[in-house]
Amino acid sequence: MKTEFYVEYDEKQVVLQDIEERAKATWKEEGNKMKELKSLQLYFKPQEQKVYYVFNGDSNGDFFGV
């Protein structure tokens, strides 16, 4: 079974899979190519159009433009 999750707000649509892929790319861009990504927590704030993330329970940050 394949699940697709969408958030719609203010005439925009955000796809969970796109946010997840962007977060994983951020993980690699931060120099973690050799480390394993064991857990990923994502928090999306539509009013800010910003995603907050936590990698492996300790490394965190955010990005715009989802």
CA distances, 2 to each of 5, 11, 17, 25, 33 (Å):
10, 25, 11, 22, 27
Regions of the chain with pLDDT less than 70: 65-66
Q: Where are the alpha helices (DSSP H) in 1-66?
A: 16-29
Give me the pLDDT at residue 66, please: 65
Pairing of strands 40-45, 12-15: unpaired
Predicted TM-score (pTM) of the model is 0.82
Q: What is the pLDDT of residue 61?
A: 93
